[in-house]
């Protein structure tokens, strides 16, 4: 069964127009997300390019060959910008190179009037742009768990199609009547482009949605000031650590931290400097935190952690943090920390129970003069 090129051309215009409308509303609905904005721009450029290509049947040459293909190169450039924004990379001028190259080549009659040369350059440009998109998706693979493989598959199919076209398209002008001129291979180009723009549009929507979900999840689990875990995340992670320690018959400890006289730091140096102290403390703890441990800000100047290990290990770790804090003076602001910890002594003890015991130990450390570590059950505080 032969495919009618005119029917495919009309279908492509309809699909591009409809997807452009969908993308415009998606862009507005996403509060003008730049990834969707560049995707929308790419679809509009493609729509214009496809329409201009139909003017060959009217005897025109400049609009379909020069302007139309410049628009197609700009469409690929728009996709490049969309993927670069998805990866949080600067835009630069890369997206204009294809359009500038095509415009420059059209100044030479040997290229401008040669269908084989135009097909070859177009295929090479499509392969280069698609390879760049594949690389960008690969770089974003850690944040695109669900949409990574569909995007890779779609882009590789598109790249291999244009690679095959280099060898299969004879670039002999077609004698068939229809809306688009070009070679006999044009019918397959139109069919593949229809499937590609549909697949890529919805894949990009899925990628943007996944990125947004990852961002929202990160925001819900991290403290906005210090970027460490928050209370909710700590309790979620603590359940996993407790279950693992119980399976391995290993002890674990809950730790509470309270920065000493933090209100006076805010009063004396200002809240901005106080925030810097909080950030500095989190950096100190994070740098000393064991690989299996978890640390979080509970609120204000209060912090908590869970670490696998016996009481001796927990005590050594707490003291290393206390001494590191005492030795540092961020922005010439001296501060100290009081620490209380408790270690599980039985299989029935959970993290919440240990945290209550660590709170009692912390109260003892503060009542004993601050800037010290105390263990539950309370013994002599370490100075």
Catalytic (active-site) positions: 301
Instruction: Copy the structure tokens of residue 332.
Output: 């010439």
- End-to-end distance of the chain based on CA atoms, in angstroms? 88
Return the exposure string of 245-263: e unless at least 16 CB atoms fall within 10 Å of the residue's CB, then b: beeeeebbbbbbbbbbebe
Q: What is the largest CA-CA distance in the chain?
A: 97
Could you tell me whether strands 252-259 and 337-343 are parallel, antiparallel, or unpaired per DSSP bridges?
A: antiparallel
3-state secondary structure of 369: coil
Listed in order, strand segments (DSSP E) in the chain are 229-230, 252-259, 294-299, 302-308, 337-343, 373-376
Residue 174 backbone phi and psi in degrees, to 5: -75, 145
Tell me the C-alpha distance between 273 and 284, whole Å. 16
Contact 288, 302 (CB under 8 A): no
Listed in sequence order, the residues at least 6 apart from 157 whose beta carbon sits closer than 8 Å to its beta carbon are 196
């Amino acid at each position: 069964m032969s495919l009618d090129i005119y029917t495919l051309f009309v279908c492509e215009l309809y699909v591009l127009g409809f997807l452009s409308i969908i993308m415009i509303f998606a862009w507005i609905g996403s509060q003008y997300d730049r990834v969707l904005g560049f995707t929308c721009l790419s679809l509009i450029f493609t729509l214009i390019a496809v329409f201009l290509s139909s003017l060959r049947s009217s005897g025109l040459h400049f609009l379909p060959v020069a302007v139309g293909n410049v628009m197609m190169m700009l469409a690929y450039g728009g996709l490049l910008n969309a993927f670069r924004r998805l990866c949080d990379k600067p835009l630069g001028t890369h997206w204009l190179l294809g359009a500038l190259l095509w415009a420059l080549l059209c100044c030479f009659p040997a290229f401008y009037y040669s269908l084989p040369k135009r097909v070859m350059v177009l295929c090479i440009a499509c392969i280069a742009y698609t390879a760049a998109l594949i690389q960008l998706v690969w770089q974003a693979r850690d944040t695109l768990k669900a949409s990574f493989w569909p995007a890779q598959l779609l882009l590789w199919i598109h790249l291999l199609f244009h690679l095959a076209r280099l060898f299969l398209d004879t670039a002999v002008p077609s004698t068939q009547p229809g809306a688009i001129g070009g070679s006999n291979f044009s019918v397959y180009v139109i069919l593949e482009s229809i499937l590609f723009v549909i697949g890529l549009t919805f894949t990009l929507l899925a990628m943007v949605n996944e990125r947004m979900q990852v961002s929202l999840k990160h925001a819900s689990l991290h403290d906005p000031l210090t970027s460490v875990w928050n209370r909710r995340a700590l309790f979620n992670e603590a359940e996993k650590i407790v279950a693992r320690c119980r399976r391995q018959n290993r002890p674990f400890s809950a730790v509470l931290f309270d920065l000493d006289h933090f209100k006076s730091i805010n009063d004396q140096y200002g809240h901005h400097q106080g925030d810097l102290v909080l950030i500095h403390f989190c950096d100190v703890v994070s740098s000393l935190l064991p690989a299996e441990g978890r640390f979080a800000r509970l609120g204000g100047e209060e912090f908590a952690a869970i670490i696998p290990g016996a009481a001796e290990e927990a005590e050594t770790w707490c003291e290393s943090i206390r001494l590191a804090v005492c030795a540092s003076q961020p922005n010439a602001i001296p501060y100290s920390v009081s620490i209380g910890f408790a270690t599980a002594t039985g299989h029935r003890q959970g993290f919440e129970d240990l945290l209550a015991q660590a709170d009692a130990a912390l109260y003892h450390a503060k009542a004993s003069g601050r800037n010290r570590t105390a263990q539950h059950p309370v013994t002599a505080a370490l100075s």
